[in-house]
Amino acid sequence: MRANRILLGVVAVAVLASCGRSRLVREPASYGARTALPPVRVSQPKYGATAVVKRGQTVYRIATENGITALDLALWNDIPPPYIIHPGQRLRLYPLDRREAPSRPVASSPTTGSGAASAPRPVPSPVAPPPAAGALAWRWPAEGSIATTFASGDPTRQGVDIAGKAGQPVRAAADGVVVYSGSGLVGYGELVIVKHNDQWLSAYGHNRARLVNEGALVKAGQQIAEMGRSGASRDMLHFEIRYNGKPVDPLGYLPAR
């Protein structure tokens, strides 16, 4: 999956939603009078469901109509830039876990003496273990306490929230290339996404300032943003780790501290 090209194309999707292309933010945002924050945009996967593309529909429109972010819909379906979809094309409305073994056929039960067969018992699919990080050496992206933890299957908890103070450094969790730097994804505020290899991505949201542009090569520990509260009610960093586009628990990969 060409996740880097998909993520770069999300900017084009955001343009369709009149978001425009974000400029690099270098000055702290003003937090004067408190205003109502927009609702956090998270995906609501519909497992087993699909959508058939109709004439005139776009990735952004289909995602919005189904309660899914354009980022997730693109990743779940390996849609490459420039996000061209065709009428009749069928899109998954849920992530495909590539680590799970295909389901086995239902085993039939022997017949009883009366000739009636007992109800077949489905064979459960094996639970896939967390993916190994390989050669990546993860490090904490910011100092602070954990305010919210990851919860598998909960679309409102796709990462961890690290509480801190406005302006403190946000650092790359591993070596990689910046594939997104902007504010076009509702609910993430000022967001930076780093691609580490073909399988692994990390996301850093709610910053007050982004210090890197798309295409920049970054090293683990390099400052890439300043902590803030863009799209959030408090100063914090929302941090996600994704494997093949699917969020995993960052605490399973970050070192103990």
* pLDDT tens per residue, range 119-153: 455 444 454 567 887 789 999 999 999 999 999 87
Structure tokens at 130: 């967390």
Q: Which residue has the higher pLDDT, 137 or 156?
A: 137
Q: Most confidently modeled of 27-31, 56-60, 235-239?
A: 235-239
**% of the chain at pLDDT higher than 90:** 40
* pLDDT tens per residue, range 232-253: 889 999 999 999 888 999 999 9
Given pLDDT bands bounded at 50, 70 and 90, which one contains residue 69? Answer: confident
* Domains of the chain, first to last: 3-31+38-92 (3.10.350.10), 145-252 (2.70.70.10)
Q: What is the mean pLDDT of residues 175-184?
A: 89
Given pLDDT bands bounded at 50, 70 and 90, which one contains residue 21? Answer: very low
pLDDT at 189 over 70: yes
Query: Which pLDDT score is estimated for 81?
Result: 54
Given pLDDT bands bounded at 50, 70 and 90, which one contains residue 97? Answer: low
**What pTM was computed for the model?**
0.57
Q: Most confidently modeled of 69-73, 182-186, 212-216?
A: 212-216
pLDDT at 222 over 70: yes
Q: What is the mean pLDDT of residues 102-117?
A: 39
pLDDT at 116 over 50: no
Q: Which residue has the higher pLDDT, 186 or 42?
A: 186
